């Protein structure tokens, strides 16, 4: 039996207030027919065109309308609702909804959910042609499309044709089958890494000197978190071992928080066996031999001296031959010069399968972009600067291909 294109996929539909809101009824029916689960947020204006009862009957779930209904918030709050879905769809997307999302406004359930989500959003604009062609709307759409990573808008439509107001031009809501196809393109189809396991490391480590100070580095963890998210999107069971960062755990990913290199090593070993290990964390090479029990004070004898001891080599340990070695071990090399040569030397020295090298002499730490060189036994490939999310997706694409060949 052929699987339905949206089997096990969840869609949160936000219905905006326009005459095209009636098409949301057909869209809900098509999503469910394709195997997807759908929940609906109905704006106050949209409720003037379609009823909550109709959408509830078609979706099989109560329709959410207000941010301030205690019963709704106690069953599935708006934050949980935004995390529940694999994709948010705004149809029809009115000029008001577009403007609020583009400028970070969150003053009702729909706009708050759009800001709170950690999932992609598909926009299906619908409005009068004059509104659609207004510079403010054009600027807001460009702003939505230009947001980094998954925040960047996916858009379907609008279509061109005769409108309810009698005018002709672009602005008609895309037909429900076209919106459904856009949904399938974004989240439908096979998840090639289902049944696979991966362990990812990300962020810095922190090696304490005393209760106040420590040895650390400037890694933000953004690249490792993006890789964990991209693997989970492909159906992989992901354990993310994270040093101290300010990032939220990616959806569908199990995060283990650690501080020191020794703690990170223990968490990685505990997450094995796995099919894939991507060790992107910036692990401190050394730690102090003896951690002071109290804060070290300034004294007349000048600055203190510390005896440093080497931390365990987590990448080399994971890549070592043995029954628990992952089929694919990927390390990272942060370099300030001779990137490819240093990355290739690290590949040989550590015994891993791939090295992702990046030049950290440029604006990399904390930024959303990166340029990397993928080094394997077969050669090196330089990827131009792009968002860390895009790099993660490209790397996971290579991982999928490699594991298919390995079977």
Task: Write out pLDDT tens, residues 95-138.
Answer: 999 999 999 999 899 999 999 888 889 999 999 888 999 999 99
SS3 280: coil
Residue ranges of the domains in the chain? Answer: 10-187, 197-406
Give per-residue pLDDT as tens, 132-186.
999 999 999 988 887 766 677 888 888 887 777 677 778 889 999 999 988 988 8
pLDDT band, residue 338 (cuts 50/70/90): confident
Give per-residue pLDDT as tens, 12-69.
999 999 899 999 999 999 999 999 999 999 999 999 999 999 999 999 999 999 887 6
Question: Cis omega before residue 92 (within 30°)?
Answer: yes
- What's the whole-number mean pLDDT along residues 203-232? 93
Percent of the chain with pLDDT over 90: 62
Q: Note whether 10-187 and 197-406 share their fold.
A: yes
Return the pLDDT at 81.
83
- Could you tell me which CATH class the domain 197-406 is placed in? alpha beta
Q: What is the Cα–Cα distance from 379 to 100, expressed in whole angstroms?
A: 47
Are 12 and 84 contacting, i.e. CB atoms less than 8 angstroms apart? Answer: yes
Which pair of tokens denotes residue 338?
Answer: 């001779």
Beta strands per DSSP E along 168-268 = 168-172, 197-202, 207-208, 214-215, 237-242, 253-257
Which H/E stretch holds residue 278? strand 276-279
Q: What is the pTM of this model?
A: 0.63
For 298, phi then psi, to 5°, come to: -65, 145
Q: What is the Cα–Cα distance from 394 to 376, expressed in whole angstroms?
A: 15
Give per-residue pLDDT as tens, 72-98.
555 556 778 888 898 999 999 999 999
For 371, phi then psi, to 5°, come to: -130, 130
SS3 319: helix
Query: What does the chain come to in residues?
Result: 407
Sign of CA dihedral 190, 192, 196, 201: negative
Query: Cα 300 vs. chain centroid, distance in angstroms?
Result: 51
Q: What angle do CA 140, 393, 91 make, to 5 degrees?
A: 35
* Active-site annotation holder among 139, 165, 270, 291: 165
**Which of 135-139, 237-241, 336-340 is least confident?**
336-340
Q: Which CATH number fits domain 10-187: 3.30.750.24, 3.40.190.10, 3.40.50.1950, 3.40.50.300?
A: 3.40.50.1950
Q: What is the Cα–Cα distance from 239 to 140, expressed in whole angstroms?
A: 37
SS3 44: coil
Give per-residue pLDDT as tens, 373-390.
999 999 999 998 888 889
Average pLDDT of every residue of the chain: 89
For 17, phi then psi, to 5°, come to: -90, 95
How far from 199 is each of 241, 374, 392, 400, CA to CA, in Å?
Answer: 7, 19, 14, 15
CA atoms within 13 A on the CB side of 216: 17
Which pair of tokens denotes residue 231?
Answer: 């693997």
For 359, phi then psi, to 5°, come to: -85, 110
Q: What is the Cα–Cα distance from 329 to 277, expressed in whole angstroms?
A: 5
Active site residue 165: yes
SS3 231: helix
């Amino acid at each position: 039996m052929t699987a339905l294109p949206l089997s096990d996929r969840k869609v949160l539909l936000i219905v905006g207030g326009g005459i095209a809101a009636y098409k949301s009824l057909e869209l809900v029916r098509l999503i469910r027919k394709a195997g997807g689960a759908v929940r609906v947020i109905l704006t106050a204006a949209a409720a003037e065109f379609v009823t909550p009862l109709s959408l509830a009957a078609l979706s099989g779930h109560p329709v959410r309308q207000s941010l301030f209904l205690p019963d709704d918030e106690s069953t599935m709050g708006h934050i949980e609702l935004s995390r529940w879905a694999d994709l948010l769809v705004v149809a029809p997307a009115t000029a008001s909804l577009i403007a609020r999302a583009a400028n970070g406004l969150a003053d009702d359930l729909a706009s708050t959910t759009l800001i709170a989500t950690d999932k992609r959003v598909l926009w299906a604009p619908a409005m009068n042609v004059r509104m659609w062609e207004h510079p403010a709307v054009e600027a807001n759409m460009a702003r939505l499309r230009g947001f980094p990573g998954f925040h960047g808008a996916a858009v379907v439509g609008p279509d061109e044709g005769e409108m309810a107001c009698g005018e002709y031009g672009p602005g008609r809501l895309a037909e429900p089958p076209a919106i459904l196809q856009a949904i399938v393109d974004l989240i439908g189809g096979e998840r090639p890494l289902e049944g696979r396991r991966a362990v990812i490391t990300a962020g810095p480590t922190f090696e304490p000197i005393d209760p106040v100070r420590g040895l650390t580095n400037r890694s933000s963890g953004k690249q490792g978190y993006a890789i964990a998210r991209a693997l989970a999107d492909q159906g992989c069971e992901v354990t993310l071992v994270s040093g101290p960062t300010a990032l939220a755990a990616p959806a569908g990913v199990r995060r283990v928080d650690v501080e020191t290199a020794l703690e990170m090593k223990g968490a990685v070993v505990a997450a094995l066996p796995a099919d894939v290990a991507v060790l992107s964390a910036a692990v401190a090479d050394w730690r102090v031999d003896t951690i002071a029990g109290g804060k070290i004070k300034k004294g007349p004898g000048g600055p203190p001296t510390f005896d440093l001891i080497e931390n365990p080599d987590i990448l080399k340990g994971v890549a070592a031959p043995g029954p628990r070695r992952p089929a694919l071990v990927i390390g990272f090399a942060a370099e300030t010069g001779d990137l490819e040569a240093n990355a290739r030397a690290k590949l040989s020295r550590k015994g891993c399968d791939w090295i992702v090298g990046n030049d950290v002499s440029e604006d990399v730490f904390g930024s959303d972009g990166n340029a990397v060189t993928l080094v394997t036994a077969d050669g090196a490939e330089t990827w131009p600067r792009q968002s860390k999310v895009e790099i993660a997706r490209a790397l996971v694409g290579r991982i999928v291909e490699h594991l298919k060949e390995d079977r």
